[in-house]
Amino acid sequence: MRLVSLPLVCVECESVAEAWERVLALVWKLGVVRLSEDGGRTKAATSVVGISNPMVEVHRGDAVSFQAVKDGYIDEVLKGTKDQYIGKGWDYTYHERLFSNSQIESLIRRISEFPETRRAQAVTWRPVQDSVSANPPCLQRVWISVFPEKAGKGSSLELHTDWRSRDLFNAWEANVCAMVALGIRIAESLPDSLQPVALGRYVEFTDDLHIYDKDFENVQRVLGTTQARRAFASRDMISGP
């Protein structure tokens, strides 16, 4: 008997916007239908995405993430502009989870001492609180390593993130833009001996990347527009049932 499992979708490309379009097409095509704990249905897959030239940008078809970035989502993550809502309807913010206990400061210090360390990471999960929460964080971990260039010409910073769950149509690009901005901020905070430090490749792994049924019609509309211009999905690596 063949067991049903989440398809594995792997995409590697140059930009954030291109990645969103490719992954959206693949999850829509290959995703399996699953129930969510709030009573809805989703199309879902597991995903690995690599972006070689990450910048803060949003696909022109992604109106939700465009608005989120415009309304200050990146400052929410980097500066804690929404931390005051924790305990007043919000269970957490990524800023509070990542910057609490000096996690980002410790990460920067570790990289400064040994740029090629494999131990520079920050985590969001708090087992006692999150294991019983109705709204635990989707982002689980941020990992960073620096690669000094030869002949003292600066360094490149590689950024990895791990997510337990993700709304592909309504949150993915805003999330990525915030992570890219975090990577740039960390790169700028590293010592002069490593500078200039450029943000290099961004890689992320998502356990359950999904599209909610309420968005199915809009997803079809966006894909109908983008696929008329180019067919990305055929060039990506796919595995699954």
- The domain segmentation of the chain, as residue ranges, is 8-239
- What pLDDT, in 10s, does the model give residues 82-127? 999 999 999 999 999 999 889 999 999 999 999 899 999 999 999 9
| pLDDT, mean of residues 226-239 | 46
pLDDT of the residue at 238: 37
What crossing angle do the helices spanning 63-70 and 172-189 adopt, rounded to 10°? 40
pLDDT band at 37 (very low <50, low <70, confident <90, very high): confident
- What pLDDT, in 10s, does the model give residues 151-178? 667 889 999 999 999 999 999 999 999 9
Q: Where are the beta strands (DSSP E) in 91-224?
A: 121-123, 139-148, 155-167, 197-212
Taking all residues of the chain, what is their mean pLDDT, rounded to a whole number? 90
pLDDT of the residue at 141: 98
Does the pLDDT of residue 2 top 70, yes or no?
no
Q: Which of 182, 53, 174, 198 is nearest to 107 (CA)?
A: 182
**Cα distance between the two ends of the chain:** 12
| pLDDT, mean of residues 7-32 | 96
pTM comes to: 0.90
**Any idea what the Cα angle at residue 153 is, between residues 152 and 155, rounded to 5°?**
95
Does the pLDDT of residue 240 top 90, yes or no?
no
User: In the CATH hierarchy, which top-level class contains the domain 8-239?
Assistant: alpha beta
